[in-house]
């Protein structure tokens, strides 16, 4: 099991899809995961320490968890099947029981960042998809340079929702 941190949020120029780069804390390797735009914006805002004027889906998820006395103990990117990553949330109930909940990595990471919960990657998943020194891969990705533009668009879109 690797403990991971969100190293970067990038855009894959091939399909304009956001990518999160999860770096192994104990090596120079990192693993890219392609995610949806709404989840990317939610992760970006949290990484930048910004809050949206209204609670985003993952802010609400955190509020629900807290209102019910649950704790997100950890998130594990547990599987990779046919190009799709699977994650598991380990949620401790007020009774001390730990429940495993199936989730997408994007939701898992967006929530883990908000609850300051550790993110792990199963070794076999990491070995299949990790890349050495991601910043040698710069030509495959470009920085999330249009982030400000996208954030303002996103703000506009989510404004009255």
Which residues of this protein are in contact with a second copy, per CB under 8 A? Answer: 17, 33-39, 53-58, 60-61, 63-65, 67-70, 83-86, 89, 91, 93-94, 99, 101-107, 154, 157-161
Rounded Cα distance between 75 and 89, Å, is 5
The least distance separating a second copy from the CB of residue 50, rounded to whole angstroms, comes to 17
What are the CA-CA distances from residue 90 to residues 11, 56, 79, 85 (Å)?
Answer: 29, 22, 15, 17
Query: Taking a C-beta distance cutoff of 8 angstroms, is the pair 118, 111 a contact?
Result: no
The least distance separating a second copy from the CB of residue 75, rounded to whole angstroms, comes to 12
Closest CA to 77 of 2, 155, 161, 159: 2
The least distance separating a second copy from the CB of residue 38, rounded to whole angstroms, comes to 4
Please, which residue, 27 or 159, has the CB nearer to a second copy?
159
Rounded Cα distance between 66 and 146, Å, is 34
Please, which residue, 70 or 118, has the CB nearer to a second copy?
70
Please, which residue, 91 or 121, has the CB nearer to a second copy?
91
The least distance separating a second copy from the CB of residue 14, rounded to whole angstroms, comes to 12
Tokens of 101: 């909940």
Tokens of 17: 């899809």
* HEC assignment per residue over 56-93: CHHHHHHHHHHHCCCEEEEEEEEEEECCEEEEEEEEEC
The least distance separating a second copy from the CB of residue 43, rounded to whole angstroms, comes to 11
Please, which residue, 102 or 124, has the CB nearer to a second copy?
102
Please, which residue, 28 or 63, has the CB nearer to a second copy?
63
């Amino acid at each position: 099991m690797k403990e991971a941190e969100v190293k970067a949020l990038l855009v894959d120029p091939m399909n304009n899809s956001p990518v999160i780069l999860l770096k192994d804390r104990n090596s120079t390797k990192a693993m890219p995961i392609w995610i949806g735009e709404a989840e990317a914006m939610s992760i970006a805002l949290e990484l930048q320490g910004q809050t949206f004027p209204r609670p985003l889906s993952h802010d609400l998820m955190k509020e629900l968890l807290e209102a019910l006395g649950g704790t997100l103990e950890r998130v594990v990117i547990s599987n990779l099947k046919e190009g799709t990553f699977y994650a598991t949330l380990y949620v401790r109930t007020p009774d001390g029981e730990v429940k495993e909940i199936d989730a997408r990595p994007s939701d898992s990471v967006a929530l883990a960042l908000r609850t300051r919960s550790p993110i792990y990657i199963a070794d076999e998943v990491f070995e299949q998809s990790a890349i050495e020194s991601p910043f040698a891969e710069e030509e495959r990705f470009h920085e999330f340079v249009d982030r400000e533009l996208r954030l303002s668009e996103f703000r506009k879109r989510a404004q009255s929702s």
